[in-house]
Chains A and B, each alone.
Chain A
Amino acid sequence: MQAAPRFKRRVKLGLTLLFLAGCVIGWVGPSHSRPLPASTPPTVEDTLRFLEHSTWGAWGLDGGFFWRAHNAGFEQFLEEQFNAPMSSYPTLPLYPQTRPEDCTGTCQRDNYTMYLLQNRFFTNALYGEDQLRQRVAFALHQILVVSAAEIRLPSWMAPYLQILDRNAFGNYRQLLYEITLNPAMGNYLDMAGNTRTNPNENYAREILQLFSIGLYRLNPDGTPQLDEFGRQIPTFDQDIINAFSRVFTGWNRAAAPAPGVPNYINPMVPNQNQHDVGPKTLLRGVTLPPNQSAAKDLNDALDNIFMDPNVGPFIGKQLIQHLVTSNPSPDYVRRVTAAFDDNGQGVRGDLKAVVRAILLDPEALADRPTPPTPSSEGHLKHPVVFMLNLLRTFYPRSADGSGLSDGYLNPQATAMGMNVFSPPSVFSYFSPFTGVPGTNLRGPEFGVLNTSTALARANFVNTMVNSRIPVSANAPSGTSLDFSGFLWFAQSPELLADGLNTWMMAGRMSPAMRADVIAAVAAVPAGPDLEVRRIRAAAYLIATSAQYQVER
Chain B
Amino acid sequence: MTLSRRDFLVRSGCGVMSAAAIASGIERFGLVNAKAQGPGYRALVCVFLAGGNDANNTVIPFTGYAQYAAVRAASTLAIAQDSLLPITPGSLGVEFALHPMLSAIHPLFASNNLAVVCNVGPLIQPLSKDDYKSGAPRPYQLFSHSDQIAQWQTSISTGQSPSGWGGRIADLFGTQPSGFPMVTALAGGQFARGQFTAPLQVAAAPTALNQLLVLNGFQNTAADRARRSAMDHIRTIDREYKLVAAAQNVTQQALDIGQSLSVDPVINTVFPNTTLGNQLRQVAKLIKFNLTNSSAPLSRQIFFCSLGGFDTHQNQLLTQANLLAQVGNALKAFYDATVELNVATDVTTFTLSDFSRTFQPSGSGGVVGTDHAWGSHHFVIGGAVRGGDFYGVPGVNGTVFPTLQLGGPDDTDTRGRWIPTASVDQYAATLAAWFGVSFTDLNTIFPQLRNFSPWNLGFMG
Contacts and interface: CB of A to CB of B under 8 A. Distances in A.
A516 B246 contact: no
Contacts of B199: 450
Contacts of B266: none
A454 B226 contact: no
B251 A523 contact: no
Given A433-B17, A540-B217, A150 B234 contact: no
A520 B229 contact: yes
Contacts of B231: 520, 540-541, 544-545
Q: Say which size band chain A's interface belongs to.
A: 35 or more
B22 A433 contact: yes
B140 A215 contact: no
B230 A520 contact: yes
Nearest to A441: B242
Contacts of A466: 217
Contacts of A449: 247, 250
B258 interface: yes
A435 interface: yes
Interface in B29-66: 30
A257 interface: no
Contact of A454 (B162, B223, B229, B254): B254
Contact of B215 (A370, A377, A452, A455): A455
Nearest to A426: B146
Contacts of A436: 242-243, 246
Contacts, number: 202
A150 B15 contact: no
Contact of B227 (A431, A452, A541): A541
A277 interface: no
Interface string A429-459: 0010111111111110010011111110011
A459 B201 contact: no
B130 interface: no
A291 B217 CA distance: 68
B251 A452 contact: no
Interface in A88-113: 98
A431 B161 CA distance: 11
Q: Which of B30, B244, B253 has the most CB of A within 10 A?
A: B244
A435 B22 contact: yes
Contact of A442 (B22, B24, B235): B22
A434 B181 CA distance: 18
Given A205-B141, A446-B247, A547-B244, 20 more contacts: A190-B144, A224-B20, A372-B241, A377-B241, A378-B243, A380-B243, A433-B17, A435-B26, A437-B196, A437-B249, A438-B30, A442-B19, A446-B246, A451-B213, A451-B254, A517-B234, A520-B226, A523-B225, A541-B227, A547-B241
Interface of B: 1, 15-20, 22-24, 26-27, 30, 140-141, 144-147, 149-150, 160, 162, 181, 188-190, 195-196, 198-203, 212-217, 222-223, 225-227, 229-231, 233-235, 237-238, 240-251, 253-255, 257-258, 314
20 contacts: A190-B141, A190-B144, A200-B141, A372-B241, A435-B22, A435-B196, A436-B243, A436-B246, A438-B245, A439-B26, A446-B247, A450-B250, A451-B181, A452-B212, A458-B215, A512-B238, A516-B230, A519-B230, A520-B223, A552-B243
